[in-house]
Structures are given as structure tokens and as C-alpha cells.
Structure 1
Amino acid sequence: MDQALNEEQQRRLGELGVKKAPRARRAPAKTAAASRPRAGGEAFQKGLQALQQYIAREGALPGRAGVQEMPDGDIHRVGVWLANQKQRRDKLDAAQLRALADLGVQWAR
């Protein structure tokens, strides 16, 4: 039972069979390295592949609504992926930025 309850409230809840819940343990905090994309990270590589295919099909970079169907049938929201990469560009490494710049992404230069 909560210590914020007065003694009478705690007694009444006890009579009803309400017991104090065990204290929840906190999850360890994420480290910067754990949340940082890796150069060979699978998600980045899939996004890059989808971006390459989109550019080959459309001849231009996608807008936010750009979608690419992958050969395995997966639908990749490549426009959202690219916007997310831009938002997190300070966490991308040099190889990732170079790969995006090679595809014509101006902010990756």
C-alpha cells in the first residue's frame, strides 16, 4: 500500500485484502553507444538499399511519403527513413554519411 495513504485508508485496504505491490525495478539506462546506429547495422543497410532502389525507379530522392517495395515483398517507408536519418545525422558515422552523400543526399555532405 502507498505511504501517501493515511493509516485509516491503509487499514481499510488491508481488510479488503489489498497488499502493497512489490517495488518495480528500473531498467538500466541506454548508453549512447547502444542507441547509435552502426556502420554495418542491418536497419541502416536495409534503408540504404531501399533508398537506392527508390532513386533508381523514380530518378530522385523521396519525399516524406516515399515508399519502396523490396524484392522480398517488404514495404519500406524510405521517405520516413531518410527523414529519420537526417534528424539523427550527428549519430551517423563517416561511412554512413558518405553512402548517403553518394546517393545525392545534400545534408550528408
Structure 2
Amino acid sequence: MAVAAGAAPKKKADAGKPSAFERGLAALAQYRERTESVTVPRSHIEEIPDSDGVVEVKLGVWISNTKSRRAKLTGEQLDQLAALGLDWR
């Protein structure tokens, strides 16, 4: 099957690399541990350790986007967010 002109081929997920959701959860957990709050300013960027060093997560934007797309989250993902203090059910 040929790829349409101008269309990028699909990328394989990197084995062992955390997903965007997992990075967001890690950033939120770290932020909560440090501040004892899950009220994050939209412009906040949280740096989390990664196998390649440090990754910057736009945490405020991630929370806003995740909340707006919460209908697409799995029950497990919603449980993980609720455990951190974001219960959007």
C-alpha cells in the first residue's frame, strides 16, 4: 500500500518510552509532591527525569487538554488522575 504524496508514514511507538499521558501523570505527581496542590497555572512547565535526561512537560496545558478530552480516557486513566486529586467523573 502506497503512502499518499505529502503524507508522513506512521511512526512506531518507541518501546519503553512513556506515553504523553504517562509523562503528564509523572509531572503532575511531582508537582503535587512539591506544592501539595494540583492547581497548576496554565503556563507552568514541569521538568521530569527521563531516560534521556530531563523532559519539560507543559503541565498546565496538559491538564487543560486532558480535561477537555476526558470522555476519551479509559477508566484506568481516570482512576490514576483521581488518585492524584483530579476526579473528573
Give me the TM-score of the superposition, normalised by structure 2. 0.70
Q: Tell me, in whole angstroms, the C-alpha distance in 1 between the residues paired with 2:87 and 2:80.
A: 12
In the alignment, structure 2 segments of 5+ residues that lack a partner are 8-17
Structure 2 partner of 1:46: 23
The structure with the greater share of residues assigned to strand is 2
> Aligned residues, how many?
72
Q: Tell me, in whole angstroms, the C-alpha distance in 2 between the residues paired with 1:104 and 1:77.
A: 18
Q: Tell me, in whole angstroms, the C-alpha distance in 2 between the residues paired with 1:104 and 1:70.
A: 19
Larger CA Rg, structure 1 vs 2: 1
Higher relative CO (Cα under 8 Å, sequence separation at least 6) belongs to 2
- Give the one of 43, 54, 61 matched to 1:73: 54
The structure with the greater share of residues assigned to helix is 1
Q: Tell me, in whole angstroms, the C-alpha distance in 2 between the residues paired with 1:55 and 1:95.
A: 20
Query: What is the percent sequence identity of the aligned residues?
Result: 44
Shift >6 Å, 4+ stretches: none
Give me the TM-score of the superposition, normalised by structure 1. 0.58
Shift of 1:57: 1.1
Give secondary structure in 2 for the equivalent of 1:102: helix
